[in-house]
Amino acid sequence: MTNPLLYPKGSTVLLLGNEAIARGAIESAIGFAAAYPGTPSTEIIEALASVAKDVGFYVEWSTNEKVAFEAAYAAALCGVKSLVAMKHVGVNVAADILMSSAYAGVNAGFVVVSADDPGQHSSQNEQDNRWYGMLAHIPVIEPWSPRSAYKLIKEAFKLSEKYKHPVIFRSTTRISHTRQPVTYEDDIPKPKTKGVFDRDIKRYVLIPIHGRKLKKILMEKWHKISSEEGKPPLVEVINPGRPKAIIASGIAYAHVTEALDYLGAKDDYTILRVSLPVPLPYKPVIDVAKDAKEILVVEELDPIVEYQVKKIIQEQGLEAKVYGKEYVPTDLDLDLEKVYKAIKMFRGETPETPWKPVEVPKVEPGIPPRPPVLCPGCPHRNTFYIIKTAANKAGLKDPIYTGDIGCYTLGYNEPFKTQMTSFEMGGSIGVAHGLSKVVDEPVIAVIGDSTFYHAGIPPAINIVYNKGRAIVLVLDNYYTAMTGHQPHPGTGYTAMGEETYRVPAEKLLESMGFKTFVINPMNVKESIEKVVEAYKAYKEGEYVAIVSRMKCALQAQREARKKGIKLPAYGINEDKCRGCMVCVNLLACPAIIVPEGKKKPVILTDLCAGCGLCAQVCPFNAIEVVREGSPDWIKAWM
């Protein structure tokens, strides 16, 4: 079975928005793609990596978004079409080079995919990255569905080639992570992967004297785009000439069309479908506003199109009254209900919807919330238990645990509370250093392996250089686990599956000047002893780092399945269990449950990963192996 991404022209395949973007990019003949994984952008590069060798282009997981951007941008400077993908906050990391790329431009199609996360499904904020287009003077294209993403990514490459300028392609969670049937319009061309670096110093060395000239060229391009690109498929006027109009940008268009269907009002409005919100081309807006006296702008998050529409109308001396954020929310994802209500209000009607939900019936004791939790067997659980127990033993009083971005962020919750901050990638270490200068408690920066390589290294160096008093704890589970186990510099292979050098975190930390302790948290007792030793060294004034290394449980289980290894499973011996609830309260493993009305916990064997932590923690030795693993089961975890 070949990969559906490689099917010929005419095939219809159920694609995730991100896969649709990947296929569109392949049809555009990209030769180079790079990214750092981040929800909701990850599957773009995963999809590309899965076919890179077949098609013959290059793909990498870079160490962070800035590095990924620089690499892909360099390819485009040499005439190799390229793509870089990242989540919305990743653009913050790459913002420096992003700004400069608008000045120097490109020599081949170069698209920056920004996957935004309205609703914060898996992010620290819901910033609207269309602003970056405004800020950098880089056009932004936003699709309204996975299928349109497939088509429009190709337009993005065309636009980029036409203006020799970077283009931002802004997707959102509800496009990137929605599946839709996509029919391929083109076959896969042979990509160009080698280029030429033209030593155009006046263009590539952004010293003031060059930059000032480039800014002029940049503004010329910008005005040309806003005056000439206001046509299908980027911007389309539907039902021209109506006295009322709705301008819908990106995914809002999908909601607007369906809401109008429900209202039976499809023909009542002129619709302006916008897929080029930045810079908003002014001609179609003028066309619409000449006839429409009232206009509703529907867009997700910030009023970026709305501001531009208002500006254009004012400059043209037109009279249309423009509504937008008074009816359309500025937070969370838009949906059919919200847009239906907005249109009702625009019509001057009460915002009732045609759907009649039943009420969720009351039950006792209520429906408990179910936030994400560390998986059964997750090594972070072991590490959190170990560092807390060791802190008690070593007399390390009230440590402050700064945190970072990854599965382990879940340590913020009961029973661990080993994540007391989480702002951005790498922030744990930088914040820990600052705290250590101004508070008396011990400070421990808890950071994942991938995050450490991403943005943890400069702040770690800063601790040693500036005599900070924070401990660095790297949780090394071999993968960028949260986004679906992408490899990173500590994994030993690349995005394209090639074996490569492993960069051990402990070697980096040692070379910076940290006394570094490596533990295997599966061995709980031994690890506690080592961490106690580490804490003692810290108290004596040494720079201390700890690397806790054990494979992500999901990957260990996957490997076991693949290699036919049977992992052990644990159970609670009812006769030995005294119902002390230590395993439940200290570990919160989802496989250990207390059935309603019972005084003793049980382990759901089907869910147990067999890590053995609970058995090591139970004070009465009541937790026992109930299903033996194969003799070599431990190999799956290494």
Partner 1 sequence: MPRYNILLAGVGGQGLLTLGSIIGNAAIEEGIDATIAETHGLSQRGGSLVVHVRLGDGSSPLIPHGGANLIIGLEALETLRYLNYANKDTKIVMNEFLWPPPLSKTPKLEDIIKAISSSARLYVVNANEEAKKVTGLIVTANTLILGFAYMIDKDLQSLLSEKSLEKGLERVFRGKALELNRKALKAGMELAKKTI
Interface contacts to ligand SF4, rule CB under 6 A? 374-378, 380, 407, 477, 481-482, 552-554, 570, 587, 589, 591-592, 603, 608-614
Q: Does 590 bind partner 1 (CB under 8 A)?
A: yes
> Comparing C-alpha atoms, which of 24, 217, 188, 25 is closest to residue 106?
217
- Tell me which of 208, 365, 541, 619 binds partner 1, using CB under 8 A: 365
Site for partner 1 in 99-128 (CB under 8 A): 121-122
Q: In whole angstroms, what separates CA 423 from the centre of its chain?
A: 14
Cβ burial, residue 377 (10 Å; 0-12/13-18/19+): buried
Evaluate the omega torsion of the peptide bond into residue 233 and state whether it is cis, within 30 degrees of 0. yes
Nearest-approach distance from CB 505 to partner 1, in angstroms: 23
Nearest-approach distance from CB 437 to partner 1, in angstroms: 31
Site for partner 1 in 447-486 (CB under 8 A): 482-484
* Residue 177 contacts residue 18 (beta carbons within 8 Å): yes
Nearest-approach distance from CB 178 to partner 1, in angstroms: 4
Residues in CB range of 230: below 8 A, 6 or more apart: 276, 281, 282, 283, 284, 285
Residues in CB range of 507: below 8 A, 6 or more apart: none
Cβ burial, residue 128 (10 Å; 0-12/13-18/19+): buried
* Residue 517 contacts residue 531 (beta carbons within 8 Å): yes
Cα–Cα distance, 191 to 193 (Å, whole number): 6
Q: Does 348 bind partner 1 (CB under 8 A)?
A: no
Provide the token pair at 360. Answer: 């969720």
Cα–Cα distance, 262 to 144 (Å, whole number): 19
Pick from ligand SF4, partner 1, none: which does 121 bind, CB < 5 to 8 A by kind?
A: partner 1
Nearest-approach distance from CB 460 to partner 1, in angstroms: 25
Pick 100 or 413: Cβ nearer ligand SF4: 413
> Comparing C-alpha atoms, which of 149, 169, 172 is closest to residue 159?
169
Pick 267 or 359: Cβ nearer partner 1: 359
Pick 15 or 432: Cβ nearer partner 1: 15
* CA contacts within 13 A on the Cβ side of 457: 16
- Tell me which of 267, 352, 364, 440 binds partner 1, using CB under 8 A: 364
Interface segment toward partner 1; rule CB under 8 A; list 190-198, 222-230, 419-427, 582-590: 582-590
Pick from partner 1, ligand SF4, none: which does 606 bind, CB < 5 to 8 A by kind?
A: partner 1
- Classify the phi-psi angles of 353: left when phi > 0, otherwise alpha if psi is within -120 to 50, otherwise beta: beta
Q: Does 23 bind partner 1 (CB under 8 A)?
A: no
Nearest-approach distance from CB 76 to partner 1, in angstroms: 28
264-295 CB burial, b ≥16 within 10 A, e <16: eeeeebbbbbbbbbbbbbbbbbebbbeebebb
Q: What does the per-residue mask of binding to partner 1 show for 144-163, with x meaning CB under 8 A?
A: xxxxx---------------
Pick 31 or 612: Cβ nearer ligand SF4: 612
Q: Does 340 bind partner 1 (CB under 8 A)?
A: yes
Cα–Cα distance, 284 to 135 (Å, whole number): 23
Nearest-approach distance from CB 425 to ligand SF4, in angstroms: 16
Nearest-approach distance from CB 181 to partner 1, in angstroms: 5
Q: Does 410 bind partner 1 (CB under 8 A)?
A: yes
Pick from partner 1, ligand SF4, none: which does 489 bind, CB < 5 to 8 A by kind?
A: none
Pick from ligand SF4, partner 1, none: which does 144 bind, CB < 5 to 8 A by kind?
A: partner 1
* Residue 15 contacts residue 38 (beta carbons within 8 Å): no
- Tell me which of 350, 370, 501, 562 binds partner 1, using CB under 8 A: 370
Q: What does the per-residue mask of binding to partner 1 show for 374-403, with x meaning CB under 8 A?
A: xx----------------------------
Site for partner 1 in 593-632 (CB under 8 A): 593-597, 604, 606
Q: What does the per-residue mask of binding to partner 1 show for 262-301, with x meaning CB under 8 A?
A: x---------------------------------------
Pick 191 or 377: Cβ nearer partner 1: 377
Strands 592-593 and 602-603: antiparallel
Nearest-approach distance from CB 137 to ligand SF4, in angstroms: 39
Residues in CB range of 97: below 8 A, 6 or more apart: 66, 69, 70, 73
Cα–Cα distance, 445 to 405 (Å, whole number): 12
Nearest-approach distance from CB 487 to partner 1, in angstroms: 18
Q: How many residues does the chain have?
A: 638
Number of residues that bind partner 1 (CB under 8 A): 79
Nearest-approach distance from CB 629 to partner 1, in angstroms: 18
Interface segment toward partner 1; rule CB under 8 A; list 273-281, 285-293, 361-369, 630-638: 361-369
Q: What does the per-residue mask of binding to partner 1 show for 170-199, with x meaning CB under 8 A?
A: ----x--xxxxx------------------
Residue recorded with tokens 């106690």: 532
Cα–Cα distance, 433 to 466 (Å, whole number): 9
Interface segment toward partner 1; rule CB under 8 A; list 198-206, 280-288, 363-371, 391-399: 363-371
Residue recorded with tokens 């570094």: 516
